[in-house]
Every structure is written in C-alpha cells, then in structure tokens.
Homo-oligomer: A and B are copies of this chain.
Amino acid sequence: MEPEGASRALVMSDVAARAGVSHQTVSRVINGHRNVAPHTRERVEQAIRELGYRPNTAARALVTGSTRTIGFVTVNINQYGPAQTLVGLEQAARTAGYSLSVTVLDEATAEAMRDAVDRFVAQSVDAVVALGTYDDASEALHALDAPVPLVAVQSGGSSEWPAVGVDQVAGARLATRHLLDLGHRTVHHVTGPADSQEARDRIEGWRAELLAAGASVPPYLRGDWTPSSGHAAGKQLAARVRAGEEITAVFLANDQMALGLLAAFHEEGLDAPRDISVVGFDDLPEAPYFTPPLTTVRQDFAELGRRGVQLVLGRIAGQDLHPDPVPAALLVRSSTGPVPVPVGAARGVG
C-alpha cells in the first residue's frame, strides 16, 4: 500500500520481477486485457500494491498517443456559472479517469482561443472542452480544424459541432411565464452580452413565452453580466417608470445584474416586489440574501459537467452524440409579486 519512499523511480519491470512475470504481463494486467490467467493477475496486482507502483503517464502517452487529459478553455471563470461548470466537469472527468488541464482566456478573442487550443494540442490532450465560447472565439475554434475532438459547453446554436448546455430557452420561458402568471401584462428583459450564445438563448426564451401568451414584446436592454450593467439598466427603467410608463416586471439574464438593478431601483425609491417584480438567472449562493430575496432560475451544473464529459468521451470514441440540454428550474423567492396598483387609479388584476 505504501510507496517505498522517494528513492529511485519505480518502473514496470520492478513489478514484473517481483511477480515473477514479464513486464508485458504487468502491462496487460494494468490495462485490463483478457487472456491473463486469474492466478497471474492476482500475483501482479499484489506486487503493484506492495510496491505502490504507478505507471508513468508520459511513457504511456508517448506510445498510445493519449494522455487521458481533457483541456478546458474558458473566459470569466470568476463568474459563478463558469466556476460551477468547471467543478462539474472536473468531477465527471476524474470519475472517468481523465484529468483536466485548464486555461483561462484573458480575452475572448479568436486569437486567444486559437492560442489556447494550440497549446492544448501540443500538450496532446485527448479532447478540448470550450466553455461559453463567445462568437469569434468559437469561430476560431472551428476554423482551427484541430486534430482533437472539440466540444462546446453552454454554447448551443449550430448543430455542426457537438455541444451540450443547460436549456437556456426553457429556463427563460419559466422565468417569463412566472411573471405573466402573476398578472404582469408584459415582461422587460435585460440581456447578457450580444456575442454570448447563452444570452441570445435567454432572449429567445423570453420572447417566445411572451409571444405564446399574446403579450407585447418590449425592446430589451443590453447588459454584460456585470452588476454595474444591471445597475445602469435599473436606472434607465426606473426613470421610465417615473415618467409613467407601465413597467412592472423585469427578467434579467443573470443574478448579478439583477442585484445591480435592485440597487438602482432602491436608490430611486422603487422596491421589489411592491413596485416591480424581478427575476434573475443562475441562483447564486447570495441570491436568497438579496434585498429582497431573488426569484431566479437554477442551472444544474453537476449534470452539465457529467453530460459534457460523456459527450467528450463519445467523441473520443468516434461517436456522434447529440445530448439533450440540461433542464433548468425556477426558484420563487420574494422579488416577484402581483402587479402593483398604480398611484392614480386602481386597475390591478385582482
């Protein structure tokens, strides 16, 4: 069980000698080949255990061409979603016997993406997983024609290349539906950055649900995921409310922006859910402690990681899987409520 201290490196023939077999038989045992007598297998396994032997991955990689490593590229790992996805992916990869090599892009440019993938290729990773690839980066990825399978996570759209993600459209519909069910005549939307597929999917879901309910579709406000952009959107919306416009419900593409918007509204003397209903997306650990606790949409990142790895392994094996999107769930807290009664006349829904 114990390694014999950090003396000289232990190699396969040490194990072979101890078990009284050839090094190749040891190799066969390690790689689970058939055609090894049970008795022999047991002796070898015991020698491995006694010596604390671990095969040298570099030698193995050299001859097989496989490193059992997955390269992971992302931007904005500082955000909750990417970080959670990394966790989910790493755990799923580890379970499958793969390790994860991580690169965090400084900027989401084609150049940076190309560079990162290039480095992964040189590193002989077995596959590359790209998270939240913004458009130009993701184009670079495909233009690259990399000699390794490439999988996109949270970057749906085109079915040309394999991707898996949380069902953003359904999540956005859930959020919008919830607001509509509360009696709001329509729902305003603050988006993520234009070049994010997730952001576009959320717009699509929001719009689809509005259309399905026969509600009008107001123009959306463009955000960039940051609390500060949510704050700016909040200021703008608050001014329009003050000017008499009927804005009673806002769906934001993430929780951080929702926080910013809540703060802006509060500064203007407008509070949720009394004056306005607000729904976010992500379910940050902080979301229940916002003022007020935020109604939001939760994504299942562990499941996303699992399916991502499954997709990657499928690709490595040459299969062409098209996994279903991971479901999202609505969490109702206190930032949403019925339509406020206008200051002038009463015309609420009931």
Q: How far is the CB of A250 from chain B (nearest CB, A)?
A: 15
Q: Which residues of B contact A230 (CB under 8 A)?
A: 289
CA distance A87 to B106 in the complex (A): 9
Whether a CB of chain B sits under 8 angstroms from the CB of A91 is: yes
Cβ-defined contact, A100 with B102, below 8 A = yes
Name the contact of A227 in the complex, choosing from B58, B67, B227, B285 (C-beta under 8 A): B285
Whether a CB of chain B sits under 8 angstroms from the CB of A146 is: yes
Interface residues in A78-120 by Cβ distance below 8 A to B read: 78, 80, 83-84, 86-87, 90-91, 94, 99-104, 106, 118-119
Q: Are A263 and B285 also in contact (CB < 8 A) when A54-B122, A58-B58 are?
A: no
CA distance A348 to B264 in the complex (A): 31
Whether a CB of chain B sits under 8 angstroms from the CB of A133 is: no
> What is the count of identical protomers in the complex?
2
Q: Are A99 and B101 also in contact (CB < 8 A) when A77-B83, A286-B259 are?
A: yes
Q: Are A285 and B266 also in contact (CB < 8 A) when A62-B58, A78-B83, A147-B6 are?
A: no
Q: How far is the CB of A266 from chain B (nearest CB, A)?
A: 6
Cβ-defined contact, A86 with B77, below 8 A = yes
What are 15 A-B pairs at a CB distance below 8 A? A56-B122, A58-B59, A58-B67, A59-B62, A69-B101, A77-B83, A78-B83, A83-B83, A94-B103, A99-B103, A101-B102, A228-B288, A263-B290, A263-B291, A263-B293
Given contacts A78-B84, A227-B289, A259-B286, 20 further A-B contacts (CB under 8 A): A5-B145, A6-B146, A56-B124, A58-B67, A58-B124, A69-B101, A77-B86, A83-B83, A86-B102, A91-B106, A94-B119, A99-B101, A101-B102, A228-B288, A256-B285, A256-B286, A260-B289, A262-B289, A266-B291, A291-B291
Kindly list the 9 A-B residue pairs having the minimum CB-CB distance in the complex, ordered from nearest. A58-B61, A54-B122, A6-B147, A263-B289, A58-B62, A227-B289, A291-B291, A83-B83, A260-B289
Residues of A within 8 A of B (CB): 5-6, 54-59, 61-62, 67, 69, 77-78, 80, 83-84, 86-87, 90-91, 94, 99-104, 106, 118-119, 121-124, 145-147, 226-228, 230-231, 256, 259-260, 262-263, 266, 285-286, 288-291, 293
